[in-house]
Amino acid sequence: MKNFNDHIGLYTDHYEFTMAQGYYLDGRAETKACFDYFFRKNPFNSGYVIFAGLQDFLEMLNNFKFNDESISHLRRVGFNNDFLKHLKEFKFKGTIFAPNEGEVIFSNEPVRVEGNIIETQLIESMLLNVINFQSLIATKAARIRYSAEDRLVMDFGLRRAQGLAAIHASRAAIIGGLDSTSNVYSAYRYDLISSGTLAHSWIQSYGNELTAFRKYATSFPKNCVLLVDTYNTLKSGLPNAIKVAKEMEQKGEKLKAIRLDSGDLAYLSKEARKILNKANLRYVRIVASNQLNEHLIKSLIDQGAPIDAYGVGTSLITGHGDAALDGVYKLSVIDDNPTLKVSENMEKITLPGSKKIYRYFNGDGKFYADGIVLEAEKNIDTICHPIDIHKCAVVTGLGKEELVHKVVENGETIFKNKSVYDISQYAKQRLELLPEEHKRFENPHIYKVGISKKLLKLKDTLINGFEK
Amino acid sequence: MKNFNDHIGLYTDHYEFTMAQGYYLDGRAETKACFDYFFRKNPFNSGYVIFAGLQDFLEMLNNFKFNDESISHLRRVGFNNDFLKHLKEFKFKGTIFAPNEGEVIFSNEPVRVEGNIIETQLIESMLLNVINFQSLIATKAARIRYSAEDRLVMDFGLRRAQGLAAIHASRAAIIGGLDSTSNVYSAYRYDLISSGTLAHSWIQSYGNELTAFRKYATSFPKNCVLLVDTYNTLKSGLPNAIKVAKEMEQKGEKLKAIRLDSGDLAYLSKEARKILNKANLRYVRIVASNQLNEHLIKSLIDQGAPIDAYGVGTSLITGHGDAALDGVYKLSVIDDNPTLKVSENMEKITLPGSKKIYRYFNGDGKFYADGIVLEAEKNIDTICHPIDIHKCAVVTGLGKEELVHKVVENGETIFKNKSVYDISQYAKQRLELLPEEHKRFENPHIYKVGISKKLLKLKDTLINGFEK
């Protein structure tokens, strides 16, 4: 059975195995290493990223093993027998430090993976695959939530998702602030609210819009949302919906909403609102969908469109605008020695050593700046821009929190799973602490992420070492 | 166990269940329906699409069932008990007509799903999810293959894929013409060639590039590819690689290639080629990677860059430029009566009735045009543009083939699975039959897809029926 859950150890780039075998045959199986996961650029020109995917990653990490069939596959591909014997016993026994899922994070802030060089190397691809994508979608969803304010927003993306990406994407969408998903499997798997009513095919199948509406109202009197654009929204859909709403009233029932899925949503929602109000149907809500994203929702609200709920699909579920978060995984310590990856591009030089992150707070309790500092450091008075090193900020006396926490210790997850809606609530609270200027869509103010002077010095020393 | 394979029936939009329940409670469980799957717009401004994902879809369709746990979930969500009893026995027993996987297809060409209205409706989301995405990626891969000509091209996308999308994406990449993937799980699952050598972390972990190269050459003398840009490609990486190549020659071994992963790939590859040749290492190949796509590869080749193999990641695996194919699923027959979905946008009016597709050939055996015609039609002499109806083409006497074939009959897959490389070979042969002007990147010539006069007439009659 080629069941994914039985072969998660293979969910890895081929070169991770090649390197692991090389290390093993070179007698370095116990060599200690520390890798940093971080991204370089916020997606969507966003002022922040919502960290997501941690619980799925940790669950997959627990299943990251090699059964007989996986080992046979690797043998056929040509890997070494002694190495494969070692791999058969593989279980990740390292230690991982990460932010809370739902945390507001910024570029260059490391998730830290410590262990022997084989285990830390082998899990690279899976970590990147899972965390990059869920963080991308949670960030997109947070932007959509921001523009929709407190209106209901539903994920309709399953059909346009990148195949099985939908499974994680619908979870990440809720973390970022959406209310529900159309994806019933993800709803089942992650305990999410699923929602949905009817498609144009329902109307078509009855050949007559009024009949189709009546049939739907009979089947779902408590949750009746009528799609009014199959033929003509204002001339046919809306009058028929009003007829059915009145019939429902006779039975003591209430039409919940109408849905607009094409045409000019600003114009149609305003007209529909007027007509519904005139028919004494103020309680009937208006739902809109059709290629929406954070910018279009903002524009509809700016135009005063009286839309009560939004369905978002393709743009949300594929992270439109930036289909990938550019997360990387770089070696920062080897054999207890700090190391870095040099580059001719200053911005691509990595930060050496084992590091932690402090989040500093303003007097009003809002986020002020983050400082990436060496693990052993205690009293930090100043943090500086990692490249433009004369740009510094004094952080003495500011309130602070550690941003990354130990989530796996010697292979054991020491971490209490939270419900997806609890994670979503956490993301919401944290976003409230992020000053407004970092949340706007146009040229958001760049949040300060500095490094300590000791880290700066260590980086310089190591770079100079390479240049000799 | 929330194992995906056990709950594939839930991999569906919530509204499919709502509608299915509505139909069931309305006594329409046996009402016959036919749906068309098709897309409206080629992605990437491409002149064609490669149809992919069929075998995965059919495998998932065979598992599209509802076990006790799935049923319990739907009960908790509020679905009706009688309907759920019906669902517990569910198995798709309809009939499906589709092109061969790997076929060159165009917008509006329908995959046909026939059966009762419940089964044909319930599978909508999954069909769209799987076929839209694999067709998108196979098309992207075909474009990359086109620009790379006969050079080796490898999928490196796992880490930047949209999470679990990677599983299907690596398969679709091979269908579109790539040679191998870095994704070992997909290679295992679909019998693909996986490949990969080493990352920068390997070099960094030894603290010394020459040592790291020597260690790698010792571990992998037969497949030694050295990544030369960790410190400085021309000053350090290349001289060290040459030293190791010479040491390998002493042992009767050969350095296979060097890999460039940053900097100006055109300049660096030319310099590297010169230096390697001067060192009598003409046999050492040059591999390049780093944010490549079809346009960059074309540009490198146009500049005469002597690159022998390419690794492509993010752009391929996410279908950069168009993260989704806009496939839709529309009702075309209900209760044996043809039907269509009207729209104020002429291009969005669907084609009614049960249809088949003919592909017509030029005298030179190349594709000339496709005709979408009614199932019952025999002798077609003319096909016309579906909107601009005075644009017609005579097809009398041309060679022709039927493009869609029955792949599922009354629920049974009547279809012999092919290996992914065989599908890829088929796609390659078919692309060779597509005239060059449809394959270019800039304003590709639009391939003719017409409809028969009878279909045109049926469409008109139905539209007029609505307007009365």
A208-241 confidence digits (pLDDT tens)? 999 999 999 999 999 999 999 999 999 999 999 9
Question: Looking at the domain assignment, is residue B431 inside a domain?
Answer: no
The number of folded domains in chain B is 1
Q: How far is B223 from chain A (nearest CA, A)?
A: 10
Domain assignment of residue A211, given as a range: 138-317
Q: How many CA atoms lie within 13 A of B94 on its CB side?
A: 27
Mean pLDDT of B433-442: 97
Count Cβ atoms below 10 Å from residue B253 Cβ, excluding itself: 17
Coil/strand/helix, residue B22: helix
Which residues of chain A are within 8 Å of residue B218 when distances are taken between CB atoms?
26
Q: Does A208 touch chain B (CB under 8 A)?
A: no
Q: What is the tens place of the pLDDT at every residue in A300-327?
A: 999 999 999 999 999 999 999 999 999 9
Question: Looking at the domain assignment, is residue A333 inside a domain?
Answer: no
Mean pLDDT of A197-201: 94
Residue A173 sits in the same domain as residue A89: no
Residue A121 sits in the same domain as residue A150: no
Mean pLDDT of A56-74: 97
Are A188 and B73 within 8 A, CB to CB?
A: yes
- Bridge partners (DSSP) of residue B329 are B37
CATH number of the domain to which A33 belongs: 3.20.140.10
Q: Judge whether A50 and A102 are in contact, CB under 8 Å.
A: yes
CB contacts under 8 A, B 234-263 vs A, are 262-263
The answer, yes or no, to whether residue A1 has pLDDT greater than 60, is no
Percentage of chain A modeled with pLDDT above 90: 95
* Per-residue pLDDT at A26: 96
pLDDT band of A47, cuts 50, 70, 90: very high
Are B165 and A162 within 8 A, CB to CB?
A: yes
Nearest by CB to residue B165, choosing from A12, A35, A163, is A163
Are B18 and A196 within 8 A, CB to CB?
A: yes
Q: How far is A161 from chain B (nearest CA, A)?
A: 6
Distance from C-alpha of B328 to C-alpha of A383, rounded to nearest angstrom: 53
For residue B260, give the nearest of B272, B250, B249, B275 by alpha carbon.
B272
ipTM over 0.90: yes
> Is the dihedral angle over the CA atoms A416, A418, A424, A425 positive or is it negative?
negative
* Per-residue pLDDT at A467: 60
SS (HEC) of chain A: CCCHHHHHHHCCEHHHHHHHHHHHHCCCCCCEEEEEEECCCCHHHCCCEECCCHHHHHHHHHCCCCCHHHHHHHHHHCCCHHHHHHHHCCCCCCEEEECCCCCEECCCCCEEEEEEHHHHHHCHHHHHHHHHHHHHHHHHHHHHHHHHCCCEEEECCHHHCCCCHHHHHHHHHHHCCCCEECEHHHHHHHCCCECCCCCHHHHHHHCCHHHHHHHHHHHCCCCCEEECCCCCHHHHHHHHHHHHHHHHHHCCCCCCEEEECCCCHHHHHHHHHHHHHHCCCCCCEEEECCCCCHHHHHHHHHCCCCCCEEEECHHHHCCCCCCCCCCEEEEEEECCEECCCCCCCHHHCCCCCCEEEEEEECCCCCEEEEEEEECCCCCCCEEECCCCCCCEEECCCCEEEECCEEEEECCEECCCCCCHHHHHHHHHHHHHHCCHHHCCCCCCCCCEEEEEHHHHHHHHHHHHHHHC
Q: Does B346 touch chain A (CB under 8 A)?
A: no
CB contacts under 8 A, A 132-151 vs B, are 132-134, 136
Mean pLDDT of B73-79: 97
Which residues of chain A are within 8 Å of residue B23 when distances are taken between CB atoms?
205
pLDDT band of B467, cuts 50, 70, 90: low
Residue A177 sits in the same domain as residue A306: yes
Percentage of chain B modeled with pLDDT above 90: 95
Q: Does A156 touch chain B (CB under 8 A)?
A: yes
Q: Judge whether B356 and B436 are in contact, CB under 8 Å.
A: no
Mean pLDDT of B241-251: 98
Residue A157 sits in the same domain as residue A115: no
Task: For residue B376, give both structure tokens.
Answer: 């019952």
- Bridge partners (DSSP) of residue B286 are B258
Query: Mutating which of A5, A10, A13, A467 best tests the B interface, going by the most B Cβ atoms within 10 A?
Result: A13
Q: How far is A130 from chain B (nearest CA, A)?
A: 5
Q: Does B443 touch chain A (CB under 8 A)?
A: no
Residue A144 sits in the same domain as residue A219: yes
Mean pLDDT of A91-117: 98
The answer, yes or no, to whether residue B39 has pLDDT greater than 80, is yes
Question: Looking at the domain assignment, is residue A290 inside a domain?
Answer: yes
Residue of A nearest to B345 (CA): A263
Those residues whose C-beta lies under 8 Å from the C-beta of residue A72, and which sit 6 or more positions away, are: none
* Per-residue pLDDT at A398: 96
Mean pLDDT of B334-350: 91
Question: Looking at the domain assignment, is residue A306 inside a domain?
Answer: yes
Q: Does B95 touch chain A (CB under 8 A)?
A: no
> Is the dihedral angle over the CA atoms A11, A12, A14, A16 positive or is it negative?
negative
* Per-residue pLDDT at B52: 98
For residue A49, give the nearest of A461, A455, A449 by alpha carbon.
A449
The answer, yes or no, to whether residue B468 has pLDDT greater than 70, is no
CATH number of the domain to which B277 belongs: 3.20.20.70
The answer, yes or no, to whether residue A275 has pLDDT greater than 90, is yes
Question: Looking at the domain assignment, is residue B48 inside a domain?
Answer: yes
Residue A109 sits in the same domain as residue A153: no
Which residues of chain B are within 8 Å of residue A160 when distances are taken between CB atoms?
128, 132, 324, 326
Residue A358 sits in the same domain as residue A247: no
Q: How far is B353 from chain A (nearest CA, A)?
A: 13
Mean pLDDT of A88-109: 98
The answer, yes or no, to whether residue A152 has pLDDT greater than 80, is yes
The answer, yes or no, to whether residue A466 has pLDDT greater than 80, is no
CB contacts under 8 A, A 20-49 vs B, are 21-23, 25-26, 28, 31, 33, 35
The answer, yes or no, to whether residue A468 has pLDDT greater than 80, is no
Mean pLDDT of B86-109: 98
Which residues of chain B are within 8 Å of residue A185 when distances are taken between CB atoms?
4, 7-8, 10-12
Q: Does A170 touch chain B (CB under 8 A)?
A: no
Question: Looking at the domain assignment, is residue A327 inside a domain?
Answer: no
* Per-residue pLDDT at B364: 94
Residue A303 sits in the same domain as residue A421: no
What is the rounded average pLDDT for all residues in chain B? 96
Q: How many CA atoms lie within 13 A of B64 on its CB side?
A: 25
Which residues of chain B are within 8 Å of residue A70 when distances are taken between CB atoms?
188
* Per-residue pLDDT at B380: 94
Distance from C-alpha of B452 to C-alpha of B120, rounded to nearest angstrom: 26
Query: What single letter denotes the amino acid at residue A465?
Result: G
Residue A462 sits in the same domain as residue A402: yes
Q: What is the tens place of the pLDDT at every residue in B271-297?
A: 999 999 999 999 999 999 999 999 999
Question: Looking at the domain assignment, is residue B404 inside a domain?
Answer: no
Residue A148 sits in the same domain as residue A122: no
Q: What does the DSSP assignment read for B102-124?
A: T-EE-TTPPEEEEEEHHHHHHTH
The answer, yes or no, to whether residue A55 has pLDDT greater than 60, is yes
Residue A131 sits in the same domain as residue A168: no
Residue A262 sits in the same domain as residue A124: no
Question: Looking at the domain assignment, is residue A428 inside a domain?
Answer: yes
